[in-house]
Amino acid sequence: MDALSNLSAIRADVIEVWDSRTSTYRPIQDTIQQSIVGLAPAQLNSIELVAAAIGNDAGFFSTIAEGLDVKAEIAYVDAQLAVRDTAIASKASTTELASELATRDTTIGTKSDQSYVDSELDALDGDIAGKVSIAELASQLATRDSLLAGKASSVELASELATRDTALASKTPISTTTALDARVTTVESVVTATASYHYLETGADALVIRGTNEISANFLGSSAGSQEGNALFYKDVTTTTPTLQTTLVKARNATGLVLTTSGGTTVLQSAENGDLVVPHDLQCSGVVAAGSLRGNSFVHNGTLLSTQLSGKEDIFEAQSPLQKVLNTGGGSGLRINPGADLEVTDLHLRGNLTLDGSMPSAFFRAGKVNADTTVATSAGRNVFTVDRSNGDPVGRYKVDFGETHPRSTAYVYTIFVENETSQSFCTATIEGLSSTFIRIAVKDEAGTLTNRAFHIMVL
């Protein structure tokens, strides 16, 4: 049996069968009634005939469908062909192209060859290189025009020369200028100019500054020897600056140096013996140092010093630890030196004893020790530490002072154990004593070592 003879279904858009009566293929749905009714069974083999026609290929119709899917639509193909025809229509014909090429060849034949053109261009470039640029030429012409514009015309030059001649006619003759040159030469011997300074030079004796009738100052020259350069002022010197700075001001004669107010009142005057005379009050906010100081009166803090001295008691010395002091009112008193140690056999007080600091503890070491060797309180002059004595875990304690007791081992101590009513009664015994520590053992009534808090005081 062929491949299609046992199919349960065949699907296709159109199935045509051979109509022997019309000798054509007709749709099976049109001919089935006409063709099949009344036919013999041997003639009802159209399906087998179709299968044989397609070579019994079960995938025939799917293959046909897939082939149709990859084919272009007629409208698309027609559009693409139309575009191609339009492009072809815009192209030149072979005859036209040959004509254009022939014309081009004729034109090229009339042109120079490349080597000749290159030679001519090289020659032209050489000529151009030897020429000045337009910009440079314009710049040179502008410079020339500017220079010409700055020149005077012939008429103007003639006028200027005439003016100069008139001016020269009014000038001093050469004989006069020769005398002036001589005087200038003399002045130049007095005035010296450098890059940084200008100098007025003295003569051998001095440089004299004077008015019409009076000499103001002399600046001594080389003939003055060691005094060369000194300035002698014969009139008042007035400075407009707030400060006059100098290393030495020397009096001209026995009158001395006098300092006055703007109104002429003398403030101070020097004497030949070196004394400084102050005719009025001298007020100082700092220190006045002098070999001797004389005055009609001296005032200190608003009170005459003579009054303060009259209330001064006779000289006495205070023995340590006492100190002699002056209060703000000028009175004297005694006090105990704050930095000194005070040792007395008997101390009698009529009033209160007030301390600015704190009293040191009366105990060398004092405090409470917990059962686990921690220090609960420390009230002595310094702290102490506690650990197990001899490494025993229970009942034994070593109290370490941290320093040597000043009385070595001859100190006084007190130790008592805390005993609560719910606990067994314990006592402390001394197992070792030195100047730096005490070893303690705490035992109950049965003599068993027991951990228990205790108090210790060492004087």
Domain boundaries of the chain, sorted by first residue: 16-69, 185-233, 301-340, 365-458
- Per the CB < 8 A criterion, the answer to whether 298 and 305 are in contact is yes
| CA 97, chain centre distance (Å) | 82
Q: Rg of the Cα trace of the chain? A: 71
**What are the tens digits of pLDDT across the range 347-364?**
777 887 777 767 778 899
Q: Out of 1-10, 247-256, 424-433, 447-456, pick the least confident.
A: 1-10
Given a cut of 70, whether residue 285 has pLDDT beyond it is yes
Length of the chain: 459
Which residue, among 278, 304, 306, has the nearest Cα to 293 in the 3D structure? 278
Q: What is the pLDDT of residues 36-47, one digit of tens each?
A: 666 666 666 777
Q: What is the pLDDT of residue 212?
A: 86
What φ, ψ does residue 306 adopt, rounded to 5°?
-65, -35
pLDDT (average), residues 295-315: 76
Q: What is the pLDDT of residue 186?
A: 65
- CA dist., res. 64 & res. 70, Å (int): 10
- pLDDT at position 131, please? 81
User: Any idea which residue has 């930095």 for tokens?
Assistant: 339
Sign of CA dihedral 334, 338, 339, 345: positive
314: pLDDT confidence band, cut at 50, 70 and 90? low
* Percent share of the chain, pLDDT over 70: 88
Mean pLDDT of 381-393: 87
199-237 pLDDT tens trace: 788 888 988 888 888 898 888 999 989 889 888 888 877
Is residue 403's pLDDT more than 80? yes
- What dotted CATH number matches 365-458? 2.60.40
Is the pLDDT at 293 greater than 90? The verdict is: no
Q: Check pLDDT > 50 for residue 375.
A: yes
What is the average per-residue pLDDT within 263-284?
85
Distance CA 142, CA 19 (A): 113
- pLDDT score for 429: 93
Q: What would the mean pLDDT of 383-387 be, rounded to a whole number? A: 93
Whether this prediction's pTM lies above 0.85 is answered by no
- CA torsion, points 213, 214, 220, 221, in degrees to nearest 10? 0
Whether 76 shows a pLDDT value over 50: the answer reads: yes
- Number of other residues whose CB lies within 10 A of the CB of residue 384: 21
CA distance 290 to 275: 10
pLDDT at 415 over 80: yes
Average model confidence (pLDDT) for the chain? 82
Q: What angle do CA 221, 225, 226 make, to 5 degrees?
A: 110
Lowest mean pLDDT, pick from 218-227, 256-265, 281-290:
281-290
- What whole-number distance in Å separates Cα of residue 167 and Cα of residue 46? 148
